[in-house]
Structure 1
Amino acid sequence: MTNELDKISELPGHIMDNILSRLPIKDAVRTSILSRKWRYKWSSVPELVFDDQCTSLGGVPSLQPNVQKNLVQIIDEVLLLHTGPIQTFMLCHKGFQATSNIDHWILHLSRVSIKVIVLYIYRGWNYKIPTCLFNCQDLIKLKLLRSEVKIPSTFEGFKNLLSLHLLLVELSPDGLEALISRCPLLKHLQLWKLGIKQIKVEAGNLEWLDVEGALQDVAFGVMNCLKSIRIAFSDNIGNRFGPGNANSSNLHQLFRNLPNIQSLKLQNYSLKYLAIGNVPKTPPNELVHLKCLFTCIDFNSVEEILTAMCLIRSSPQLKLVDFQNRVEDQQTTRIGTTADFWEDHRACCLEKVQVVSIGGISGSEPELELINILLTCSPNLLKMTIRPNSMSGEGKLVRELLRFRRASTQAEVIFL
């Protein structure tokens, strides 16, 4: 009777592996009590994830007084008893802080052909990455949070790395450039608040790029495969940093080597950075594949409006446009009521635009003029979503919009 009911022990090995890979490591170890066949099955699980569930009981945080000590003991025992290959090692416990024990774990991983390392340090000081990490030549994904990285002189590169994420990581600009240049297959790159002011990226196979921080300058080498990019200048750079060539602009320099961009996100002060320099009225045909444009914009800035219009004019395939109002305390140049300014920019490249979103607006004249252009110059527009920063002036805003002609008979205007 017992043998007939013990269906779980008769499962094929690959199904048992699939079950164990979906369980938290703590529950995977507990399967040892199911039967003799399951006793050591967990020790060959290829993916080791140590997160908050490792030190919790029934979804409630553990009452043990020393979570740090408890987690260190768990990781030590799992690595000691593990018998099969380890493909993924993920340490992302929010109560864990940097400790020298990590050095031993990474040394162990460097000897087992590890493919994915995720090391998130949420508490305490930044963890200094040991040089043995750079011996993990089979890595395809590396994610670091709150670490200190120094590239060893003997490092020849991660030849198989496809995805690199550096978040709140301390390293020099030269170190960053050396690391990226020695990952020839890199496709995904995230650089978030690295503590350096200038970033240079050149990776021939890169497809996705996310850059954020208190930056002063960014530079991109030739990247023909890059399709999606997000840039977020978190600090207001003012007008202090411009291109060396007076006839050039940050806009032209940034995108001259990125011919195949399909999605572009410019957040915080990124558009203000691109507006520095001589923004061309008729830009070169550099964004012919761009389909989605998201940007934070100061609607009272002539330079930023010019830059946004330049991006739109150079994007004949543009289908989605999203503007988020970024209100400035002080302005050096204002559009005001200059109708001629807007009239000069009605010949925009909006033939294929289908979706428009505008957020944080108050109904000022520059905002309304831009909405008017988007409505009257977008023959295939399907939906425009408007998110006012206050509901108090919604009635006036609606009345103004009712006066605008729509090039598309299908265009729907939605207020949120």
Structure 2
Amino acid sequence: MRISQVSVRMTNEFDVISNLPGYIMDQILSGLPIKEAVRTSILSRKWRYKWSSLPVLVFDEQCTEDSFSQPHQNLVKIIDKVLLLHIGPIQKFKLSHKEFCATSDIDHWILRLSRASVEEIVLDIWNGQFYKIPTSLFNCQDLIHLELYGCLVKIPSTFEGFKNLESLDLQFIELSPDGLEALISSCPLLKHLILNNLVGITQVNLEASNLEWLDVQGAFQDVAFGVMNSLKSVTVGFSDDIANKHGPDNANTISLHKLFQNLPKIQSLKLENYSLKYLAIGNVPQTLPIEPLHLNYLFTCIDFNSVEEILTVICLIRSSPQLKQVDFQNRAKDQQTTRIGTMADFWEDHGVCCLEQVQVVSVGGIFGSELELELMKFMLTSLPNLQKMTIQPNSTCGEGKLLRELLRSRRASTQAEVIFI
């Protein structure tokens, strides 16, 4: 092929690239890492500054994947250049790089964002000390989503709230209890809330009228719910075995009665880590005074050795007329066998109850002990509309015996299917 022919072919290809419709160019740029999007400026005059109006800016490991040294410094240069040349609104700004440490450069970037009507900010500080959030962040009044990881947050006295914020994600954050309450209460449209491992906070007091989805995890001693009529999904995970710090006569704020009294529309409840043990403190009633009428999914991390925890789960099932699925995850590292006789009597006493609403059950992380087997037999004999029971052993040890025992067990539902995975 002659040089002139090659030249014509290349010219035609560049003409095609240059004459792409604007919306196609936008789609191409939005699918590229920000560093590659900037490099498209060399394609043609039409592409030169096209990247500078990108509404979504994500700065992560892809920005420095070809930098063999000083990824932190290289990332700072990239962000400085992008924000300097950027024009138009910024819908989303995300900084999440495993090699990036807290630095004062972030202060300038947030100040720039506060003037750009930004709707979403994600700051993940993985290395070094907590990054102290500047007051300029609280001037971002167009924020819809805010996500902070590894930050120190101090709410300024002049803060009047995020009036448009719908989603708040705080993980490994240091702030005061008063600051947390002030932040949540000043977000009237808040629908999604994640609180994970908050430094310096042992008790969480929550009240948000429009909140629909809540996930609270960490070394908390208590979680107090105000009346939240919109809340549909709740996940609570006490990471410490704090139940041992409470005597049986000590009333815990998150009692079964108060939990459902203040959350009348809850549909999904996940009790992770030691949360079920905490709820089981004190006398557990057979049924709740106020039924969770909308609860259809229940997950519990359970110690099968604990009569109190088992009673708590049965109470929840009995009291939830719309409950369709119950998932158990074994929390105990080993299964005791000293209480088998007592537990056999226990299941005989409770075997008369009929739990018609439950259709799907799963049991995970089990060791094949008699205690676990008795619970599964109880479910098979007490759930007349059970369709499927999924069992996931912690190991293959005892799986054959479990299967044989369950296959021989009487079933209240003729359609019940037992599946081992």
TM-score by length of 1: 0.93
Distance 1:306 1:7, change over 3 A: same
Return the letter of the residue paired with 1:97: C
Return the letter of the residue paired with 1:46: P
Number of the residue aligned with 1:31: 40
Range with greater deviation from structure 2 (360-369 or 103-112): 360-369
Q: For 2:137, what is the secondary structure of its paired residue? A: helix
Number of the residue aligned with 2:4: none
Number of the residue aligned with 2:368: 363
Q: How does 1:9-88 map to 2 (within 5 A)?
A: 9-57=18-66, 62-63=67-68, 65-88=69-92
Provide the rounded CA distance (Å) in 1 between the counterparts of 2:265 and 2:344.
35
Q: For 1:238, what is the secondary structure of its paired residue? A: helix
CA contact (8 A) 2:222 2:252 kept: no
Return the letter of the residue paired with 2:29: L
> In the alignment, which of 380, 384, 393 is matched to residue 385 of structure 2?
380
CA contact (8 A) 1:249 1:276 kept: no
Provide the rounded CA distance (Å) in 2 between the counterparts of 1:49 and 1:407.
54
Q: How does 1:187-336 map to 2 (within 5 A)?
A: 187-195=191-199, 196-241=201-246, 250-327=255-332, 336=341
Return the letter of the residue paired with 1:168: F
Report the Cα offset of residue 242 of structure 1: 6.6
Provide the rounded CA distance (Å) in 2 between the counterparts of 1:159 and 1:335.
56
Q: For 1:323, what is the secondary structure of its paired residue? A: strand
Distance 1:154 1:367, change over 3 A: same
Distance 1:20 1:347, change over 3 A: farther
Report the Cα offset of residue 255 of structure 1: 2.6
Distance 1:367 1:118, change over 3 A: same
CA contact (8 A) 1:248 1:277 kept: no
CA contact (8 A) 1:217 1:241 kept: no
CA contact (8 A) 2:343 2:371 kept: no
Cα deviation digits, residues 26-66 of structure 1 (max 9, x gap): 11111111111111111111111101000113xxxx21x21
Return the letter of the residue paired with 1:165: D
Report the Cα offset of residue 335 of structure 1: 6.8
Q: How does 1:117-136 map to 2 (within 5 A)?
A: 117-136=121-140
CA contact (8 A) 2:249 2:282 kept: no
Report the Cα offset of residue 361 of structure 1: 2.0
Number of the residue aligned with 2:110: 106
Return the letter of the residue paired with 1:109: L
Return the letter of the residue paired with 2:55: P
Number of the residue aligned with 2:3: none
Cα deviation digits, residues 88-126 of structure 1 (max 9, x gap): 110001111100000010011111111000000011110
Q: For 2:342, what is the secondary structure of its paired residue? A: coil
Number of the residue aligned with 1:93: 97
Larger fraction in helix: 2
Provide the rounded CA distance (Å) in 2 between the counterparts of 1:134 and 1:318.
41
Distance 1:282 1:248, change over 3 A: farther
TM-score by length of 2: 0.92
Number of the residue aligned with 2:181: 177
Provide the rounded CA distance (Å) in 2 between the counterparts of 1:380 and 1:351.
6
Q: Which runs of 5+ in 1 are unaligned?
A: none
CA contact (8 A) 2:227 2:262 kept: yes
CA contact (8 A) 1:323 1:359 kept: yes
Provide the rounded CA distance (Å) in 1 between the counterparts of 2:253 and 2:223.
15
Counting aligned pairs with the same residue, the percent is: 72
Report the Cα offset of residue 228 of structure 1: 1.0
Report the Cα offset of residue 227 of structure 1: 1.1
Q: For 1:337, what is the secondary structure of its paired residue? A: helix
Number of the residue aligned with 2:418: 413
Provide the rounded CA distance (Å) in 2 between the counterparts of 1:329 and 1:149.
41
Distance 1:87 1:246, change over 3 A: closer
Cα deviation digits, residues 218-239 of structure 1 (max 9, x gap): 0111111111111111110134
Q: CA RMSD in A?
A: 2.2
How many positions carry a matched residue from both structures? Answer: 410
